[in-house]
Amino acid sequence: MAIWAFRKNYDPRIRPRETYLIYEIKWSYGRRPWQRWFCSTSREHVEMYFLNDVHEKLKNNPSAHCTITCYMSWSPCGYCCEDIMDFLWEWPNVNLVIYVARLYWHQNKFNRQGLRNLESFGVPIKVMNLPDYNYCWRTLVNNENSSEEDYWPMYLAPWIMQYSLELQTILQVSRTVGSGKVHPEMNHSHMQKPVSELDISLASFGLSFVL
């Protein structure tokens, strides 16, 4: 991914129309990690390009165990959460972790429930923290022409904290009722009962600062 695309689309202060997704596959048997990125189009959400690409990658070795880490500029919508759960139900040997730079229409009840269902299904969802930005910069972004070896955008810290608070509030519901993989069809139609008190201490976010 180009530097300008990463800086622009993963800056939570900006609200771009497109969604970018960078992903990395790490295999359990020492194979070289696979890295790629996609951008949404007017025809398809970026999650569909990602899932189709991973499917093509896995079908030649369906028994392989792997961990996939996604770095998304926007969190998945409710429909894409369902598609991700369907994919993981088909591929139980895949562990998925999702990091997001910002939350997509997170006041929408369907999108909020989609995130809850996805975490209840066993997919950790986190807001990108400063070390995550630096990891992407050093590992997944084409920064050869940049004078910056590291990327610690301290000015994003207030936005990281804000989205972390909101995501904590959304996901707290599913954490109080337990977790574990449930077939996606069982998650699609059930709303969780909200909790009355939320633990939104700063320590729960693991927000890291470098002085």
CA 148 to chain centre: 25
Q: Which of 40, 36, 96, 22 lies closest to 66 in space, CA to CA?
A: 96
Name 107's Cβ contacts closer than 8 Å, sequence gap at least 6.
Answer: none
Residue 170: other Cβ atoms inside 10 A: 21
Sign of CA dihedral 130, 133, 134, 135: positive
Catalytic residues: 47
Q: Helices 46-58 and 78-90: crossing angle, nearest 10°?
A: 10
The rounded distance, in Å, linking the Cα atoms of 52 and 79 is 16
The rounded distance, in Å, linking the Cα atoms of 73 and 20 is 5
Cβ(10)–Cβ(20) below 8 Å: yes
